[in-house]
Structures are given as C-alpha cells and as structure tokens.
Amino acid sequence: MLRGLWSAATGMAAQQLTIDVISNNLANVNTVGFKKSRSDFQDLMYQTLSQAGSVTAAGGEIPSGIHIGMGTMPVGVQKMFMQGDFKETKNELDLSIEGKGFFKVLSGEEELYTRSGNFKLDSEGNICTPNGDKLQPEMTIPSNTISITIDKTGTVTAFDPEGTGASLGVVELYTFSNPSGLFSLGRNLYRPADASGEAVSGTPGSDGVGTIAQGFIEMSNVDVVEEMVSMIMAQRAYEINSKAIQTADSMLQMANNIKR
C-alpha cells in the first residue's frame, strides 16, 4: 500500500501530541512556578529506492537516488525553564527565585525540587508547601514570631514582639546542569534524573545561583499568545496531513477501479 498513507498518519499523531502539550501549558497558565513544555520532532528513517552514484541500465550515473521518508516522530517534550513573571503578594512566606535554582522540599521520604515559592506554615511552625512538604533545610518559626524577613541571600530572620530578630538559617537553592532533564512529577515538583545531573547546593546570590525575593510569587511562564499561535499551527498541520490521507484513499480507490 502507499507509504504516504502511513507518513501522513505519523504527521497527525505528532500534531496530536503538540496539542496535548499546548493544552497542558494553557491549563497551567495561572499555576505558580509552572514551566511550559515544548514538543520537538524529527524525521523518521528514509527508504532508499535507488542509490546515488550507482550506474543505470543506459550507462549513466544516478546523481542523487530516491530516498523516501517514513514520516515524523516525537523526540522530546522538554520543559522550558525561562523566568516567569513576578506578582507581588506582600505575603511574607511567598518567595520567588530571580534566576537559576530550585527549592528543595521533603515529600514523604524523598527529596524533591520545586520553583513554586508559595510556602505556608504547618501547625508546628515549619515552612512547607501547600501540600505539606517541608522546605529543606528545615526551619521552625517560633510561636511568638510577629514577622519574618527573608533577604535576597536567603537568610531567614524571625522577629518577636519586642522587635529582636533571631536568625533561623539560610534557604538554600539547588541548581542542575541540565534542568530540562528533570523528571516532572506534577504538583510543581521535579525529581532529579540521570539527564539532569546531581543537585548542587548554593547560597542564593552566589555562584550563578539566583536570588530570593520575599513577598513575590513567580507566575507561570506560559505566554498565551504564543500558545495560541502554536495551536493554530498544530491544527492546520493536522488538517493538511488528514488531506494527504484522503488523497491516498482516493488514489487507492482509483487503483481498485482499474478493473471494473
């Protein structure tokens, strides 16, 4: 049967994947610390029907042969760790990272990483994510604290009613050699993988690690206009591949009708 029928089918499947990725990006357009994804494609193998350089029956040389491609395939859906916009909340436990780096949290027994800095306090005064995963290194805010300040370099100071400040420690940030290689778990959490490399701890503001801004949250880095344009492109590409399938169908029908 026509190879083109299957090539067009891979084209439709690829555009479907693009729509899946775009839909997820758009669904998370207001998710704190969300990073958008992008799908990348490559062409599939080529079948050589005649080899370049071989000699024809007439004695001439075939200049470039016939290579027929088999369609396209998805090769990666990659997170794009570009900076999201900042939104001022004035909430003293809303932290955002300006630049590179991730917060480390303890989810059950496992150390995971996140960029969403909308932290809360649990009943024991520990700083934790909205899911209750404790920020690492752990910090307990004394019960008589009336305000907390966290400076650019991550130093946490708690003030008691008399106005005396006590330093509680430093919020460390962690960087990866290839953040795109991190495994996305959902719930804004990432797990290190072979492709991402090991987490390297750093003090905010030094060694290329970003700084912390208190009272701000990092919004999603999804750009709605860009996603809409991608969606148009994916939809039209889907449509044109379906036309190729219709054409293949008509051609096969004609072939069937040669014999009446």
Question: Please, which of residues 56-115 interact with other proteins by CB under 8 A?
Answer: 56-58, 60, 62-72, 75-76, 78, 80, 82
Q: Which of 27, 146, 166, 195 binds other proteins (CB under 8 A)?
A: 195
Q: Which of 52, 166, 228, 232 binds other proteins (CB under 8 A)?
A: 52
Alpha-carbon distance 167 to 151, whole Å?
11
- For the segment 11-30, give every residue that binds other proteins (CB under 8 A): 11, 14-15, 18
Query: Taking the complex as a whole, how short is the minimal distance between the CB of residue 162 and other proteins, in angstroms?
Result: 43
Q: Which of 166, 224, 232, 233 binds other proteins (CB under 8 A)?
A: 233
Query: Taking the complex as a whole, how short is the minimal distance between the CB of residue 224 and other proteins, in angstroms?
Result: 16
Alpha-carbon distance 137 to 181, whole Å?
24
- Residue 4 binds other proteins, judged by CB under 8 A: yes
89-97, 107-115, 144-152, 200-208 -> range binding other proteins (CB under 8 A) = 200-208
Query: Taking the complex as a whole, how short is the minimal distance between the CB of residue 34 and other proteins, in angstroms?
Result: 16
Q: Which of 131, 144, 178, 206 binds other proteins (CB under 8 A)?
A: 178
In the complex with other proteins, the residue whose CB is nearer, 53 or 108, is 53
In the complex with other proteins, the residue whose CB is nearer, 196 or 214, is 196
> How many residues are listed for the chain in this entry?
260
Query: Taking the complex as a whole, how short is the minimal distance between the CB of residue 187 and other proteins, in angstroms?
Result: 24
Query: Taking the complex as a whole, how short is the minimal distance between the CB of residue 107 and other proteins, in angstroms?
Result: 23
